[in-house]
Amino acid sequence: MLSGLFSRSAARAADFSHLDQASVEFREVVKRYGDHPVLKGINLSIAPGEVVAILGPSGSGKSTLIRLINQLESLNGGEILIDGKPTGKLTGTALRQLRSRVGFVFQQFNLYAHLTASQNISLALEHVHGWKAPQAQERALTLLDKVGMVEKAEHYPAELSGGQQQRVAIARALASSPQIILFDEPTSALDPEMIGEVLQVMKALAHSGITMIVVTHEMQFAREIADRVVFIDGGQILETAPPEQFFRHPEHPRARQFLQKVL
């Protein structure tokens, strides 16, 4: 299933030990903004530990699709199940619990500017998850080490490059030991020379066992790392296939058109 440069054994040498995993299932999921339908009945089952790349043109509904999973958006129809259980519409503690199981990495990093790299990780553990400060700090350093950022633990986001900020954001997303991690175009805001270091961390994560859903325009990354590609356009899944099949023989005309533009 995995091909190219990154075999399972090579990835084992990278820095993530075994992480937990959970399944995600969309059943007839519908999302509208006002009268404007953006997801029109999504059915998608993602197995525990699966690495899925979501591809599709701008405005097709990719961000909305993953933002529904940890309820950054609420759905208008259908349901989303995690490990077979409907998540429903959550608030308060239940919403925090869901978000501790589902990490999210944004295109724009979204680090707190007034906090150091290490505080960006430890403060959420203290204030949201009730950890004691010393344990939270230790966990922050452990995670920063895994993404190669421990030397910058006391630096503020403004003192870090985009690639470094995004690696801190990945460490932060892992702080609560999620079983699922979602990425929304994590390299799109980066200068080209910084994309590689972020993809490298993501490759290691892809082999850690965690369930991973990545919205990306990095076709080579999707091809090498994803177990499956999901192509979405106009709020619908038009094709889902193993990457080799999708990139060599896309079946849907819109997928072919999309690939001609981006490859």
CA distance 253 to 259: 10
Q: Which of residues 11-50 bind ligand ADP (CB under 6 A)?
A: 33, 38
How many binding residues for ligand ADP (CB under 6 A)?
A: 10
Pairing of strands 211-215, 180-184: parallel
The reply on whether position 203 binds ligand ADP by CB under 6 A is: no
Nearer to Mg ion, 3 or 188 (CB): 188
Q: Pick from 21, 23, 64, 87: which binds ligand ADP (CB under 6 A)?
A: 64
Ordered DSSP codes for 194-226? HHHHHHHHHHHHHTSS-EEEEE-S-HHHHHHH-
The reply on whether position 59 binds ligand ADP by CB under 6 A is: yes
Stretch that binds Mg ion, among 4-12, 36-44, 56-64, 118-126 (CB under 5 A): 56-64
Instruction: Say if residues 35 and 57 touch (Cβ distance below 8 Å).
Output: no
Least distance (Å) between residue 37 CB and ligand ADP: 9
Least distance (Å) between residue 42 CB and ligand ADP: 12
Bridge partners (DSSP) listed for residue 45: 25
The reply on whether position 261 binds ligand ADP by CB under 6 A is: no
Q: Pick from 61, 162, 178, 250: which binds ligand ADP (CB under 6 A)?
A: 61
CA distance 133 to 136: 5
CA distance 139 to 16: 14
Q: Pick from 44, 46, 55, 56: which binds ligand ADP (CB under 6 A)?
A: 56
Which of ligand ADP, Mg ion, none has residue 61 at its interface (CB below 5 to 8 Å by kind)?
A: ligand ADP
Least distance (Å) between residue 44 CB and ligand ADP: 15
Instruction: Say if residues 179 and 97 touch (Cβ distance below 8 Å).
Output: no
The reply on whether position 100 binds ligand ADP by CB under 6 A is: no
The reply on whether position 71 binds ligand ADP by CB under 6 A is: no
Q: Pick from 60, 63, 70, 176: which binds Mg ion (CB under 5 A)?
A: 63
Nearer to ligand ADP, 61 or 163 (CB): 61
Report residue 239 as tokens. Answer: 């094709």
- What are the strands of the beta sheet with 211-215, ordered from one edge? 102-105, 180-184, 211-215, 51-55, 228-233, 236-241
CA distance 177 to 27: 26
Which of Mg ion, ligand ADP, none has residue 33 at its interface (CB below 5 to 8 Å by kind)?
A: ligand ADP
H or E segment and range at residue 77: strand 77-82
Contact residues for Mg ion, defined by CB under 5 A: 63
